[in-house]
């Protein structure tokens, strides 16, 4: 999900190298960006999990031990509007090691139905985002195998069918997780939200109806992995592409994604409610 200020970093670096040979230093005044709400979300097992953080200045002291946790927005008023009904998010306890994690139960989320997120928090502009679910992929075949040559890794072999070979489609496999006792409603502390491994697919790159391959995963024996496959739209595909090129998913939620594609009015990030095929598996010896 992601270094937002890559361009700024290289600009400053080049300017520093250039001015190092000058007799006088060049003063650079970086205007401070007003914080806004950053949205990350995913759907799983009849729920939508929402993670709200706030953007911050590149001059912030990120070395502070409590900095990351301070980015999470506690006490936000977040709700979904779906089929004329308002569904409120419930804030999850900070025992998840993160402020700003919210959960909403959405029964019978149907493909192509519009769902809208509205959220507000003290001192931050309100945000609004709208998306639609896409059809659930039910023919996802996979097998998780320990790597016989390196015990630190497991390999996920996967196969699924393109939902419509006559249309341009996009998909994402997400893998996250950790110790089984730390799993709570599909959210594994910050690891689930920040270190998910995304593998993206554009069906134009696959000449046949079946998409298959293998993914190497860094995992210890008896780790519990959450594995999901979802059809996604082009906008979210581009968002994840930019995130992957920029760095880790963790970076995307802790910096201002002003250069990212976004469907959030008044804020940053991306609101999605795509229906995933979801499975939870334990890495065996």
What pLDDT shows up at residue 37? Answer: 95
**Which sequence spans correspond to the domains of the chain?**
141-254+275-282
Which tens digits make up the pLDDT trace of 215-241?
Answer: 888 777 778 888 889 999 999 999 888
Distance, in Å, from the CA atom of 78 to the CA atom of 111, rounded to the nearest integer, reads 22
Share of the chain above pLDDT 70, in %: 71
Q: Which of 15-24, 35-44, 179-188 has the highest mean pLDDT?
A: 35-44
Which tens digits make up the pLDDT trace of 242-271?
Answer: 887 765 444 444 444 446 789 999 999 999
* Closest of 141, 158, 139, 109 to residue 274, by C-alpha: 109
Class of domain 141-254+275-282 (CATH, top level): mainly beta
Strand partners, 132: 114
Has residue 7 got a pLDDT over 50? no
Distance, in Å, from the CA atom of 189 to the CA atom of 153, rounded to the nearest integer, reads 21
Phi, psi dihedral angles at 11 (to 5 degrees): -60, -45
Share of the chain above pLDDT 90, in %: 34
Confidence of residue 211 (pLDDT cuts 50, 70, 90): very high
Q: Which of 19-33, 59-73, 106-120, 253-267 has the highest mean pLDDT?
A: 106-120
Q: Please measure the distance between the N-terminal and C-terminal CA atoms of the chain and give it in whole angstroms.
A: 31
What pLDDT shows up at residue 134? Answer: 87
């Amino acid at each position: 999900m992601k270094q937002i200020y890559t361009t700024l970093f290289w600009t400053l670096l080049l300017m520093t190298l250039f001015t190092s040979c000058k007799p006088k230093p060049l003063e650079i005044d970086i205007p401070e960006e007003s914080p806004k709400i950053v949205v990350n979300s995913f759907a799983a097992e009849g729920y939508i999990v929402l993670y709200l953080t706030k953007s911050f200045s590149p001059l912030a002291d990120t070395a502070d031990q409590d900095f990351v946790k301070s980015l999470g927005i506690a006490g936000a008023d977040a709700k979904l509007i779906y089929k004329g009904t308002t569904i409120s998010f419930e804030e999850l306890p900070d025992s998840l090691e993160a402020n700003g994690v919210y959960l909403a139960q959405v029964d019978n989320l149907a493909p192509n139905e519009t769902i809208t997120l509205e959220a507000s928090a003290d001192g931050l502009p309100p945000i609004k985002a709208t998306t639609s679910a896409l059809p659930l992929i039910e023919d996802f075949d996979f097998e998780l195998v320990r790597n016989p040559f390196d015990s630190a890794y497991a390999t996920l072999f996967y196969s699924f069918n393109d939902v419509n070979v006559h249309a341009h489609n996009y998909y994402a496999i997400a893998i996250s997780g950790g110790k089984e006792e730390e799993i709570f409603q599909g959210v594994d502390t910050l690891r689930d939200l920040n270190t998910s491994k995304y593998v993206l697919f554009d069906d134009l790159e696959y000449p046949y109806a079946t998409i298959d391959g293998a993914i190497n995963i860094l995992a210890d024996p008896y780790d519990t992995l959450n594995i999901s496959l979802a059809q996604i739209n082009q906008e979210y595909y581009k968002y994840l592409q930019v995130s992957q090129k920029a760095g880790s998913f963790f970076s995307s939620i802790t910096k201002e994604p002003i250069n990212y594609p976004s469907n959030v009015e008044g804020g940053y990030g991306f609101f999605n409610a795509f229906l995933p095929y979801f499975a939870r598996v334990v890495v065996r010896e």
